[in-house]
Structure 1
Amino acid sequence: MTHSSHQGSHLQSQGLPETSFYYFAYGSCMCPVDLKRTFGENTYQYVVGTAVLKGYRLGFYRRSLRRNCGTLDVVRDPNSCVEGVLYHLPWRFSTHLDTREEVPRNGYRHEYIDVHSEGKLYQNVRTYVVIDKLPQELAPNDWYLNVVLRGAITCGLSEEYCWWLFNHMHKLQLQQNREVILTNCFSN
């Protein structure tokens, strides 16, 4: 147990406020309903608001074995920005979030970033980035596409960004479908 997590459980047992951390979600965790599955309790109360991460772009550079599709990652890009959801989570969620993001299995790792939300700058905010990135993007499946969009729309990301996100995911799916069709045509 790390010092911080030990401190959080110790404070809680004394009836003191639990320690917490800020978390920037840009993929399926944007959806509070989906995040509830991970934590076992509602997460709406922990939403600070929409947030913008400057100097990064989105990409599907990880294959999720559990979902059998491409999943989102953020990649440094000085000319881009990523919209997402800023959460202020109790420390007791930290291990569950790491497990969901496959940190123990070297899927993602913590990255500490600065985001803008509700007119404020939040520094040292946790997000997750893929460790072993694929050389090219891999399409999400329909379930992942829908949960990402549901989170983006539910939490109020800009309409322009939601449309961009949908179009990007849909184009990846169409490209993958064309490749499958061509492979099947030439293998018969």
Structure 2
Amino acid sequence: MTVKVLFVYGTLLQHEKHHETYMKESRLLAKSAWMSGRIYDTGQGYPACIPAEKGTVYGELYEVTADALNKIDVLEEGYDKQEINVMTDRGQLAAVTYTLPEQKASVLKEIKRGCWKAYQLWQQKPSSFYYFAYGSCMDDARFKLAEVDHHFKQIIGGGVLNGFTTRFTLVRPDGSRADMVEDGGETEGVLYEVPFDAIRYLYKREGVYEGTYRPAFVDVKIGDQMYEDCLTFLVLQKSEEIAPPTHYRSEIEKGADLYLSEAFRKKIRSHMDSLIKP
């Protein structure tokens, strides 16, 4: 059977409106994937992108059959299908994607920071959404200092995320900060249900506007229930890991001790112990 690698960034993404119809038999290669380019709101309920040296478009990477790709060709009629380079946490892959001619994109609204799901969240402004914390936000100390702790009272519980591992790739002078790397592992964190107003604090705290972390969306399992499209944040420029500072490690351990499994608590402590101190 002939297969192709496909990069999707809009309505073919997991949990988006065309995913089940066109992608249900495809194999996910990377939940966190990105290409060089710019993405735009067409105003018709779906985005379009153009390849470009500057800018980044975030999406997912799949292995699809030739038959599935033929059906997607019909859906994407009017777009150019072209081969591009796609980056993942495991390296670069060649893939096909559907792009818009640049002259057609010039009249459209550009989506800042390159993520269709994040853009929709801001556009729709739901009364609440799920937020998955895996670093210092598992503890409420800094929520209280910022006087936003009232936004984070609804704790669903400790959750499991498949496909990712907690690492410490954001290096600062006093030590590193947490990240999640998509390497096929498994990690745990704390799932909150937060009001929409909390998003402003989260974007500021995570340095989204400065390009420190980026918004991403993951599926988190608690017991037998799966919580879909939970907002989380991933480090943009990943460095070699070093140990986190004591105060930051303390926040992680406090949250982990309250909500996460004993096996994970042992694993994350052991990993932090193994890292070289700055």
* SS of equivalent residue, structure 1 residue 132: coil
Go from structure 1 to structure 2 and tell me whether the alpha carbon gap of 1:131 and 1:82 turns closer, same or farther (over 3 Å shift).
Answer: same
* SS of equivalent residue, structure 2 residue 204: helix
Give the letter aligned to residue 57 of structure 1.
T
* SS of equivalent residue, structure 1 residue 176: coil
Q: Unpaired segments of 5 or more residues in structure 1? A: 9-17, 178-188
Deviations 1:104-140 (A, max 9, x none): 1000001111110132111111110000111x10210
Q: How far apart in 2 are the matches of 1:73 and 1:122?
A: 20
- Give the equivalent residue in structure 2 for 1:110: 215
- Give the equivalent residue in structure 2 for 1:22: 130
- Give the equivalent residue in structure 2 for 1:11: none
**Equivalent of 1:46, from 144, 154, 157?**
154
- Give the equivalent residue in structure 2 for 1:176: 277
Deviations 1:76-131 (A, max 9, x none): 012x1110000000001101111100001000001111110132111111110000
* SS of equivalent residue, structure 2 residue 267: helix
Q: Quick check: 1:77 aligned with 2:183?
A: yes
- Give the equivalent residue in structure 1 for 2:90: none
Q: How far apart in 1 are the matches of 2:260 and 2:152?
A: 15
Percent identity (aligned): 32
Kept in 2, the 8 Å contact 1:22–1:126? The answer is yes
Q: How far apart in 2 are the matches of 1:43 and 1:162?
A: 26
Equivalent runs, 1:1-188 vs 2, <5 Å: 8=125, 19-42=127-150, 45-64=153-172, 68-78=174-184, 80-134=185-239, 136-154=240-258, 156-172=259-275, 175-176=276-277
Q: How far apart in 1 are the matches of 2:136 and 2:263?
A: 19
Q: How far apart in 1 are the matches of 2:151 and 2:223?
A: 19
Go from structure 1 to structure 2 and tell me whether the alpha carbon gap of 1:72 and 1:4 turns closer, same or farther (over 3 Å shift).
Answer: closer
Go from structure 1 to structure 2 and tell me whether the alpha carbon gap of 1:36 and 1:7 turns closer, same or farther (over 3 Å shift).
Answer: farther
**What is the total number of aligned residue pairs between the two structures?**
160
Kept in 2, the 8 Å contact 1:39–1:93? The answer is no
* SS of equivalent residue, structure 1 residue 149: helix
Q: How far apart in 1 are the matches of 2:121 and 2:168?
A: 32
Q: CA deviation at 1:7?
A: 6.5
- TM-score of the two chains, using structure 1 as the length reference: 0.77
Q: How far apart in 2 are the matches of 1:7 and 1:111?
A: 17
Mean Cα deviation higher: 25-34 or 38-47: 38-47
Give the letter aligned to residue 52 of structure 1.
V
Go from structure 1 to structure 2 and tell me whether the alpha carbon gap of 1:44 and 1:132 turns closer, same or farther (over 3 Å shift).
Answer: closer
Tell me which protein shows more helix as a share of its residues.
1
Go from structure 1 to structure 2 and tell me whether the alpha carbon gap of 1:5 and 1:56 turns closer, same or farther (over 3 Å shift).
Answer: closer
Tell me which protein shows more strand as a share of its residues.
2
Go from structure 1 to structure 2 and tell me whether the alpha carbon gap of 1:7 and 1:81 turns closer, same or farther (over 3 Å shift).
Answer: closer
- TM-score of the two chains, using structure 2 as the length reference: 0.53
Q: CA deviation at 1:41?
A: 2.8
Give the letter aligned to residue 246 of structure 2.
D
Kept in 2, the 8 Å contact 1:61–1:72? The answer is yes
Q: CA deviation at 1:166?
A: 1.2
